[in-house]
Structure 1
Amino acid sequence: MATIKDVARLAGVSPSTASRAMHDSSLISEETKQRVRKAMAKLDYSPNFAAQNLANKSSNMIGVILPAREDSVGDNPFFIQIIQGLATICNAHDYMVSVATGQSEEELIKNIETMIKRGNIRRFVFVYSKARDKVLEYVKKQDGVRFVIIGTPYEDQETTLYVDNDNRKAGFDATEFLYDKGLENILYVYTDLDENVQNDRFLGYRDAVKKHGGQLLSLSLGSEGEHERTKALKDYFKAYPEIEAIIACDDILAFKTEYSCEAAGIDGKKLAMMGFNNSAYGKIMHPTLTSVEIFPRFLGSEAAAIAIDSNLKIESNCVIVPHKVIERESTRI
C-alpha cells in the first residue's frame, strides 16, 4: 500500500508539501498540486483520516474556539471568514465543525470540557491568541488533544502549531503607507493589547514611527460604549490637534472610530483612516476604508489542514500567510 512518502517521491516534493497539496493549501502552487494529484492517482493513494481517528479514539469533528467576550464575536466578519476557510477543508475530509463560545473564560472552558468528554473531540483550532489565557492552559493539559492556534502564541512559540500573518510587519507596512502619503502624525487605536494580534500591529506601527522620528500616539478605546468612545477621542484630539491619520486595530474599530469622530466634531475630511482585515465594514463606510487584507479564509484552511492530519510533517511549526494593503478612499486626502 502506497504511503504519503511514496506520493511525495513520485511528485518530486517533500512529504509535508505533498500533504499540504492534498489539503488544497493556498501556499502550494497549482502546478505542484497537479503533480501531487497525478502521483496519487498513479499510486492509487488516498489519505485515510478515518483510520487515524479510530486509532486515536476521536471523532470526525474540529472544535473551533472563539475568544471569551461579553459582546457577540459572531458579528465580526473576520471570525466568520476564518470559519468558512476551516469548513472548506473540513467538508472535503468529512469533518464537522463545532464552535465553542462563552462570555467568560470559565464558561468557555466548561463548553470545551463538554466537547472533549461527551463529544470525544480531540482536535481544536483557537482563532485568537492572548496573554495569560486560561482556556489555552486548560486545553494543553488534556490528554490526546491536538490544537492549532490562529495567531502567534505568547509562549512556547518554537513548539506550538500555529498559523498567522506577520502582524508586526503588517502594522509597519500600514504605517509606512501613510508616511508615503506625507502623513506624519498618526494615531493607533485599539481595544486590548493583551490580544497578540493587536499588540503586534501596534509594535509594527511603533517601529515605523521610530524609523521616521515621529511621535507615538496611541489610544485604548476598549469595550466602551459610543458615548465614552466619543469623549475619549474628543479629549485626545484636543490634546493632540496635529493628528492627521488613524490606524485602527481592525475594520470594526475603524467603523466605530469614524462614527465617534463625527459625533465629537472632528473633521473627518482632513483625517485619513486605515483598518485591518479588509472586511465588509470597510466597503460600506463613507469614504470607503483603506485596509490591510490578511486573507482570513486562508488562515482558517491552513489551520484546519494541520489540525486534521496528525501525520502531517511540516518543516516549521508555523505557517505565515501574506498580507496586502488595499487602498480605498479613506486615505486619499
Structure 2
Amino acid sequence: MVTIRDVAKLAGVSPSTASRVMNDSAMISEATKQRVRQAMKELDYSPNYSARNLVKRHANTIGIVLPVRENQDFLGNNPFFMQLIQGIASVCTEHQFMVSLATGRTEEEMMTNLQNLIRSGHIAKFIFLYSKKNDPVFQFMLEQDVACVVVGQSYGQPTSQVAFVDNDNYRAGQDVATFLLDKGYTQICYAYTDMNELVQADRYAGYEEVMRDHQRPSYAMMLSRVDSEKNEQTLRSFLQKNRQIQAFITCDDAMAIRLQKLFKALKISSRRYAIISFNNSVLAEMAMPSLSSVEIFPMELGQTAARLVLNQTGQEEIAHITHEIIERDSTPNLQQPS
C-alpha cells in the first residue's frame, strides 16, 4: 500500500510537508506543491480519509492503543492498565477530549480497528500503552502520519510525530536485584512473558548486569499469560534443574500471582521462594503472602502521556517517571544456615 511517506520520499520532502500540501497549506510554496502532487499522481496515491476530515472539523478524541492479547480479559484483570487509562482520561476530560480504546486479539485485527478509528475523522492523536521491538502496529500508525505518544522505552528517537514517557526500567531491574542481594539471596530468577516487550527486556537487562557485577549467575524463565498447564510443566522442570534458586523477580504483579498459584499446584510452600514484582497494584497487597513490588506510578504515567499528546509542539520530547520499591512479606531476609 502506498503511504504518504512514499509520496514524500519521491517528492524529496518530509512527510509533514507532504501532508500540508494535501491540506493545501498556504505555508507551502507552489513549486513544492507541484512536486508533491506529481509524486501522488505517479504513485497513484489517494489521500487518507482522516487527512481530509481532520482539517474540516474538530478532532476531540484521543485513541488509546492497548497491547495485542489473545485473551481480551487481560485489561479488566490488570490494574496497571486501568490506572494508566484513568490517568489519561482525567487529563483529557479537563481539556474536553474523549478517549477511545483500540484493542485486538491479533496484529491484523488491531490494525483494522485502528484504521476504522482514523477514518472516523474524530481521532486527533494516539497513545500507545506499550513499546515493542519491530511492532507492525506501531509502524502502521507511523505510516498514517498521525501523532503518537508511547508509554514505554524510546526504542527510536523522539520526533515531531512521536514522543515517549517511561520509567527507567533498566534502573528498576538493577534496583530489585540489589534489593534481593542485600537480603542475602544470591540465586535469583527473572520470570517473564515476552522479551520483545521492551519494558520486560529492560528490567531483565538491569537485573542481569547487577548479578554479573556481583559474580552471580542470572536465570530467566518464560511463562505463558494464559496456559496454566504449560506453566506448571515449565516451573516444575525449571526447579528440578535449578534446585539452588532462592528468589524470583517477576515482570509484573499478575505474573507474581500466577507464580504463587503454580507453587500451590506443585505443593510448594508459598514462602519457599522470595518474590518481588513490578507495578505495585492492588494485587500485590492482596496476595498471600503480600508481594514486595516496584511502584511505577501508572496514574502519573498516564497523565504525563496525555499532557504530551495534547500539547505536542513538534519538538522532540521524552519524559521520565520515577519508581520506588515497596517492601512486603514476600521478601524476608534470607535465614543463613548456622
Gaps of 5+ in 2: 1-52, 334-338
Asked if the contact 1:58/1:121 (under 8 Å) is kept, the reply is no
1:329 paired with 2:324, answer no
Amino acid at match of 1:246: F
Partners of 1:224 and 1:217 in 2: CA distance: 22
Asked if the contact 1:130/1:153 (under 8 Å) is kept, the reply is no
Match of 2:208 in 1: 206
Among 79, 92, 95, the alignment partner of 2:94 is: 92
Deviations 1:235-264 (A, max 9, x none): 111111111100000000000011102212
Match of 1:192 in 2: 194
Among 162, 168, 171, the alignment partner of 2:170 is: 168
SS in 2 for 1:223: coil
SS in 2 for 1:122: strand
Q: For residues 196 and 167 of structure 1, do their structure 2 counterparts lie closer, same or farther at Cα, with a shift above 3 Å needed? A: same
Asked if the contact 2:133/2:198 (under 8 Å) is kept, the reply is yes
Deviations 1:295-317 (A, max 9, x none): 0011100000011123375xx62
Asked if the contact 2:103/2:113 (under 8 Å) is kept, the reply is yes
Match of 2:292 in 1: 290
User: Which one is further off, 215-224 or 249-258?
Assistant: 215-224
SS in 2 for 1:232: helix
SS in 2 for 1:172: helix
Match of 1:114 in 2: 116
Partners of 1:109 and 1:324 in 2: CA distance: 35
The aligned length equals 278
Among 305, 308, 311, the alignment partner of 1:309 is: 311
1:219 paired with 2:221, answer yes
Partners of 1:324 and 1:103 in 2: CA distance: 33
Match of 1:155 in 2: 156
Deviation for aligned residue 1:193: 0.2
Partners of 1:120 and 1:289 in 2: CA distance: 42
Asked if the contact 2:129/2:152 (under 8 Å) is kept, the reply is yes
Match of 1:134 in 2: 136
Gaps of 5+ in 1: 1-52
Task: Return the TM-score normalized by structure 2.
Answer: 0.79
User: Which one is further off, 126-135 or 152-161?
Assistant: 152-161
Deviation for aligned residue 1:266: 2.9
Partners of 1:54 and 1:191 in 2: CA distance: 39
Amino acid at match of 1:321: I
Asked if the contact 1:77/1:279 (under 8 Å) is kept, the reply is yes
Match of 1:47 in 2: none
Partners of 2:264 and 2:270 in 1: CA distance: 7
1:233 paired with 2:235, answer yes
Partners of 1:233 and 1:158 in 2: CA distance: 42
Asked if the contact 2:224/2:230 (under 8 Å) is kept, the reply is no
Deviation for aligned residue 1:71: 1.2
Deviation for aligned residue 1:224: 4.9
Amino acid at match of 1:223: R
Asked if the contact 1:234/1:261 (under 8 Å) is kept, the reply is no
Q: Which has the larger radius of gyration?
A: 2
Task: Return the TM-score normalized by structure 1.
Answer: 0.80
Deviation for aligned residue 1:146: 1.0
Partners of 1:178 and 1:230 in 2: CA distance: 25
Partners of 1:223 and 1:89 in 2: CA distance: 31
Deviation for aligned residue 1:94: 0.4
Partners of 2:202 and 2:56 in 1: CA distance: 36
Match of 2:147 in 1: 146
- Give me the identity figure in percent: 38
Deviation for aligned residue 1:222: 2.6
SS in 1 for 2:299: helix
Partners of 1:195 and 1:262 in 2: CA distance: 28
Partners of 2:166 and 2:182 in 1: CA distance: 26
Deviations 1:59-93 (A, max 9, x none): 11100000111112312111100000001100110
Deviation for aligned residue 1:157: 5.0
Deviations 1:29-66 (A, max 9, x none): xxxxxxxxxxxxxxxxxxxxxxxx98685511100000
Partners of 2:195 and 2:312 in 1: CA distance: 33
